[in-house]
Structure 1
Amino acid sequence: MDSEQPRVEILEQPASKALRFRYECEGRSAGSIPGVNSTPENKTFPSIRIVGYKGRAMVVVSCVTKDAPYRPHPHNLVGKEVCKQGVCTVEIPSGNMVVTFSNLGIQCVKKKDIEEALRMRQELRVDPFRTGFEHRRHPTNIDLNAVRLCFQVFLEGSQKGKFNKPLAPIVSDPIYDKILKDQHTIISQ
């Protein structure tokens, strides 16, 4: 009897400073978050694996705050995967139970849009650690230059096509906005 609960593990962390967060007005090409081991010759991307389970599963990826308790972050994920309202949902192939996110970009939200972005997230009920959405009333406390990816996996239950068995959510290492160097030029007098 296998007593080990199915769980999610991160195979490849996202690179922490390889990507500039883009605003929506800058267009869709937010760039893709590379994996931490990515090189120009051998590109890698964030990927996860489900351990102790074989079968159909869904993963919901969203941005959470850098510091615990991990609250929903207003920044949106965009990508070629199915991303709606800042959240990406991907079915995990039931073969090797690994999914790689090769097209995830981070679209940042302006301070004035934080509340609206979090309201949409609340409507979708994406609150991985059930921290609630009170923080949207204090937008200045949210670090807009750093996020973590949160992976929530749901296994298919006894009903076909119903992914209603949640696994414990896991978060990636922090991803920091790669701010353009010229914004930090300090004139040394």
Structure 2
Amino acid sequence: MTSLPDDITLTDAGLAARGDGRVLIVACGALAREILALRDAHGWNHLDLTCLPAIYHNHPEKIVPAVQDLVQKHRSEYHDVFVAYGDCGTGGQLEAVCAELGVNMIAGPHCYSFFEGNAAFEARDEITAFYLTDFLVRQFDAFVWKPLGLDRHPDLRDMYFGHYETLVYQAQTDDPQLTKIAKDCADRLGLTFERRYTGYGDLAQHLKSWAAI
């Protein structure tokens, strides 16, 4: 089993390709643990992984050129390359670049959607829900609390979250400690808490099809 990278690395620096697989997955650092867990559980040893810093989600304009650079840099080294991102705030630009490069990506607007299943997520139409995944529960301070300045100015809470009603924790794993932390995040934001076990959702299906290449 592959040792999993720490969250600080995935948030700030991403993860370099090791060059030991036939298929390369170019992914968001927020999905690295899930991708490696699925790979190791299914014995997809021919899959290699490289990740961009997860913090790029706070600056989605960085995602498209960074994905393009990684694909172009590594594609000659692998039989095939796939992109483990949804649209992720790029306004369709990532899909357009992937089509131009001839690589497949995950369908869906973001990981909250494809973890739950795109059809199910769209049907819920939850406009007052704020979502956390396992990664974001672990990295709540680094991704939410500090970047929004709530550690220094808690009075900004209503400006950012006044229109939300519920914090939905989409759990990829059954981890009581993560559930406890997620509940604490909801309390800090003054939101009703809901835990929704999604597992790996559509991510697992995409990896399964990519692994069959």
Structure with more relative contact order (C-alpha pairs < 8 Å, separation 6 or more): 1
TM-score normalized by structure 1? 0.31
